[in-house]
Amino acid sequence: MSGISILGVANVSKKFGGVTAVQDMSLDVPRGGILSIIGPNGAGKTSLLNMISGFYKPDTGQIVLEGQDITQKKPSDIAALGIARTFQNIALFSGLTVLDNLMLGRHVRMKAGVLASIVYWGMAQKEDIAHREVVEEIIEFLKLQDLRKLPTAALAYGLRKRVELGRALALEPKVLLLDEPMGGMNQDEKEDMARYILDVNQERGVTVVLIEHDMGVVMDISDRVVVLDRGRRIAAGTPEEVQRDPAVIEAYLGTGKGGGRA
């Protein structure tokens, strides 16, 4: 991967009351790669993602996207700048169809005003068609053709995860943050999802930041892995380097004990 980073996190900390969720964290996300963040429960992975996407404001430190400071920006502005995310617990509009959920993902890219949209004429119509084209392309990419008109509530869990990925892609992001996209999936679904993540990265050129517990998947598809423990970064490097790192082995397995979830 090219050494130039697209997203930079510098000395970021976040406390909730007396609990330090993230402490003095720094990391660089190289453009065009897949970076995985791993670590035991409570290590601060999701908190970090929440700060990047603007849901939390860091107490100290700075977050930079392509040279622009986004630390204090609102989530919607950050989304418009090109950071999309999916959630650990699926967050879709369950009564809406797959198509409508994906169209909603286009929302920050829509320009027509309320009145023009109600009349559905001229620019608003043209815009709607253009957005639908983008969404249809994603439907094809994720093989959702047969589900287009189904409410997401009617879908199996693995499919809803795929729809959520689709909605994030509808934003045409530069950086995609995926929070446990394979949690609760069976092996087949995991393999499918891994394939989609690789395709998103390679064919659409989207930089991916991935939180995932399945070590097999992480080691297979990541270019770089960052390991967190108790709010601190304890290791970073290629999958091979990280797997050999004694600090990682200790955080995951404890000292001198076997087992663990890897």
Q: What is the binding site for another protein (CB under 8 A)? A: 132-133, 136-137, 139-141, 143, 145-146, 148-149, 199, 202-203
Secondary structure of residue 64 in the 3-state scheme: strand
Minimum separation from the CB atom of position 149 to another protein (A): 8
In the complex with another protein, the residue whose CB is nearer, 15 or 148, is 148
Smallest distance from the beta carbon of 97 to another protein, in angstroms? 12
Backbone φ and ψ of 49, nearest 5° = -60, -40
Specify the residue, 77 or 199, whose C-beta has the smaller distance to another protein: 199
Cβ–Cβ < 8 Å for 99, 170: no
Report the residue number, 76 or 202, with the smaller CB distance to another protein: 202
Name the minimum Å distance from CB 167 to another protein. 17
Best CA proximity match to 169, nearest among 230, 80, 101, 84:
84
Residue among 192 and 229 whose Cβ is closer to another protein: 192
Compute the distance between CA of residue 100 and CA of residue 51 in angstroms, rounded to an integer: 28
CB 99 to another protein: min, Å:
8
Residue 47 near residue 24 (C-beta atoms within 8 A) = no
- The Cβ of residue 237 has, within 10 Å, a number of other Cβ atoms equal to 15
Backbone torsions φ then ψ of 232, nearest 5 degrees: -120, 155
Minimal distance, residue 132 CB to another protein, in Å:
8
Q: Which is nearer to another protein, 31 or 148 (CB)?
A: 148
